[in-house]
Structure 1
Amino acid sequence: MTQTDVFLEERAGVSAPPLLDVRGIARRLGSHQALDDISFSLASGDILGIIGRSGAGKSTLIRCLSGLERVDGGSITVEGTEITALSETALQTVRQRIGMIFQHFNLLSAKTAAENVMLPLLIAGWPKRRREERVAELLDLVGLGGQAKRYPHQLSGGQKQRVGIARALAASPALLLCDEATSALDPETTTSILALLDDINRRLGVTMVLITHEMSVIRSLARKVIVLDHGRIAEQGSVAEIFGAPRSDVTHSLLRGFRPELPDHLAAALRPEPFPGSAPLFRIDLAGENARGTLLFDLAQSFRVRPVLLHGGLQDVRGVAVGSLFVALADAGAAPVDAILSFLLGRSQATELLGHVVPSA
């Protein structure tokens, strides 16, 4: 599609079709329902993180997306081609548009870095000179320009994964599937690999699906997130939405340590009903413009109360401010709690009245 075509579509209010469209897929492994009614779509250039506990169905899902496993129901469409009913021969053509990065690198120990990267091009029948040019280009892209003749045992874990990334990009895929790509790496190396993937996404526009059990990976790289639980989608949305106001119990659990939680001493002092000297305590979840506004000042002015920030904080998630505040409203007196709650709900991602505490607790 030309730039003119894109412009005309935008003027007409027509959006481009999704690069990846998943509709109601299911997969049973023996008596176990590994996937149940999974649906989502990704536009070209999107980065989706899929997270869940062990056994949630993450690995089965990524194998289905790559065509390595067949679904029992539903459809998977890649660049307009519905792949679930394709023959193995026809599927091979689609797989050339899908790159995969593995947890344990999956490099051939008897081949050099350059030879490992070249494998998909050999399979695709590229002529020798084009293969060599492409391999050199990719090794430079991933920061291994001087390591072409080294064997896997001569490379660090991070370097091995960079070779794996270069190999996954060899045939210029539209979709890159990353299966726990950083879980075998130390924290410093993980940071550098995530930065590399982010740079590749920005420079090449390749769409990415990240399978991970680490929320830090989601926060650093993904733009959208799906939380899997026992083969079903517990919730999905933008990373800021999920970090800012998670809804499901499994997401709350996975985010423990990333979001402010009520300290134990405040939780112990909390009472369900007002008592002498107490104030209502609210948890206020914020994201984006809500997190950068004058919420507490406006609250004080509107209800003649004195907001006391007892705990909380903000963090940056993919350029969006996200956080939670635990605020007691001193001097609330006869202020209508329902009206206050309604006011806060209109200015936050989520607000909950937790109970009543002494503001200095």
Structure 2
Amino acid sequence: MSYIQLNHVMKKFGDVIAIEDLSLSIEKGECFSMLGPSGCGKTTTLRMIAGFEDLDGGEIKVGENLLSSKITNFYLPPEKRNFGMVFQAFAVWPHMTVYDNVAFPLKIKKLPKHEIEKRTTDALKHTNLLSVAQKSPDDLSGGGKQRVALARALAINPDVMLLDEPLSSLDPHLREEMRFEIKALQRQFGFSIIYVTHDQSEAMALSDRIMVMKKGVIQQIDTPLEIYNNPSNRFVFNFIGLSNQITVNLSQQGVILPGCSDVFDIQPPPPPELIQEGRAILASRPSEIRFVAQGGIPGVVKRRSYLGEVIDYNIMLGDQEIRVQKGRRDPGPNEGETCQVIFSKLHWYSCNSVAE
């Protein structure tokens, strides 16, 4: 059964519609990410769930509890929603110790002293901060400060954890480390997570499901694997993972690449409606293109770069450029050499579809 429900939610800022008729459901204990470019509405959606923004349409529920409803003009303030929140800014108070930072929301709730001590100590223990409890947050690294924010959110025993770009100000190593810690805490405590990010690798690593948004409208909701392998449209394909998108001409005889005189039989073939249009977008991931000795599309290696575990190729096919990525142990052509490639997997899109 759905735990968090958004039903036909809308939000306007003046005459601008930021969120338009958004409906979704999130399961209890699920890590659900909202992913999209800046300005797509993901943070606005999170703020409406948190109660920092009221609705201009629809309703939001958690379990059987109504949080916001435009229909009945009901609004539950943020402090009564029992949500833990972690933001991009560390939001720690430098004049308080780490312990007092974590205990502060519990003191505001006027909980008994022994319960404040237990919850604070437990939260510090689970975030590996017990040894620095009496230090100032300014003595900690960026990752340490973000752990303080996590511990503070954990201490209230939240029904739902809301995270808005919580790792974007950390360096790559710390960011990866904190991903694993957040996922481990979720498994241990069983709370639901709603995670806002524009970083696809974070969303793919953490999420049970991902919602991709564009201009306040849902483009696709699915598992990370399904969104990567079977994007619902050209925008999702372009936004998730590295992508190649080249324009080709189509006829009943096959596919013609601008700058090439040959007609190619590319599989799977484009759908009939695209053949009728006469042009299409051929889209494929760099890892889904193979070098072959013969029978492929001829190209020239414009650039060859060693990236550690992979070798990244820029290949000219006719007058368009694609990227190909192969394992560092896979033999491949050198820079300036001719080559032939085939697509082991591809997607076809109309030239009228929107990529951004």
1:76 aligns with 2:76: no
2-structure distance, mates of 1:231, 1:59 = 10
Q: Which residue of 2 aligns with 1:261?
A: 244
Give the conservation status (yes or no) of the 8 Å contact 1:243–1:259: no
1:158 aligns with 2:143: yes
Among candidates 160, 166, 183, match of residue 181 of structure 1: 166
**Which shifted more, 79-88 or 230-239?**
79-88
One-letter amino acid of the structure 2 residue matched with residue 69 of structure 1: E
One-letter amino acid of the structure 2 residue matched with residue 71 of structure 1: L
Give the CA deviation at 1:79. 2.1
Q: Which residue of 2 aligns with 1:334?
A: none
1:57 aligns with 2:48: no
Give the conservation status (yes or no) of the 8 Å contact 2:243–2:284: no
Give the conservation status (yes or no) of the 8 Å contact 1:244–1:285: no
Give the CA deviation at 1:328. 5.7
Give the conservation status (yes or no) of the 8 Å contact 2:2–2:26: yes
1-structure distance, mates of 2:50, 2:263 = 61
- Where does 1:73-152 land on structure 2 (aligned, <5 Å)? 73-85=57-69, 90-91=76-77, 94-96=80-82, 98-152=83-137
Give the conservation status (yes or no) of the 8 Å contact 1:260–1:312: no
Q: Which residue of 2 aligns with 1:27?
A: 11
Cα pair distance change 1:203/1:309, threshold 3 Å? farther
Cα pair distance change 1:117/1:307, threshold 3 Å? farther
Cα pair distance change 1:244/1:328, threshold 3 Å? closer
Cα pair distance change 1:153/1:312, threshold 3 Å? closer
How many residues of Structure 1 are paired with residues of Structure 2 in the alignment? 282
Q: Could you report, residue by residue, the CA deviation over 1:237-274 in whole angstroms, capped at 9, with x for unpaired residues?
A: 1111111122333323322xx2453799xxxxx72699
Cα pair distance change 1:309/1:237, threshold 3 Å? farther
Relative to its length, the structure with more strand (as a share) is 2
Q: Could you report, residue by residue, the CA deviation over 1:114-145 in whole angstroms, capped at 9, with x for unpaired residues?
A: 11111221122211121112111111101112
Q: Which residue of 2 aligns with 1:196?
A: 181
One-letter amino acid of the structure 2 residue matched with residue 138 of structure 1: A
Relative to its length, the structure with more helix (as a share) is 1
Unmatched 5+ stretches in structure 1: 1-16, 265-269, 292-305, 315-325, 330-347, 355-361
Q: Which residue of 2 aligns with 1:280?
A: 266
Give the CA deviation at 1:146. 0.6
Q: Work out the percentage of aligned pairs sharing the same amino acid.
A: 26
Give the conservation status (yes or no) of the 8 Å contact 2:85–2:161: yes
Give the CA deviation at 1:19. 1.6
Give the structure-1-normalised TM-score. 0.69
Give the conservation status (yes or no) of the 8 Å contact 1:22–1:38: yes
Give the CA deviation at 1:312. 6.7
Give the CA deviation at 1:107. 1.1
Give the conservation status (yes or no) of the 8 Å contact 1:260–1:313: no
Aligned residue for 2:2, secondary structure, equals coil
One-letter amino acid of the structure 2 residue matched with residue 261 of structure 1: N
Give the conservation status (yes or no) of the 8 Å contact 1:245–1:285: no
Give the conservation status (yes or no) of the 8 Å contact 2:35–2:212: yes
Cα pair distance change 1:57/1:262, threshold 3 Å? closer
Q: Could you report, residue by residue, the CA deviation over 1:299-335 in whole angstroms, capped at 9, with x for unpaired residues?
A: xxxxxxx997996779xxxxxxxxxxx8469xxxxxx
1:209 aligns with 2:194: yes
- Where does 1:214-225 land on structure 2 (aligned, <5 Å)? 214-225=199-210
Q: Which residue of 2 aligns with 1:7?
A: none
Give the CA deviation at 1:280. 2.3
Cα pair distance change 1:25/1:125, threshold 3 Å? same
2-structure distance, mates of 1:122, 1:87 = 28
Cα pair distance change 1:353/1:103, threshold 3 Å? closer
1-structure distance, mates of 2:129, 2:48 = 31
One-letter amino acid of the structure 2 residue matched with residue 193 of structure 1: M
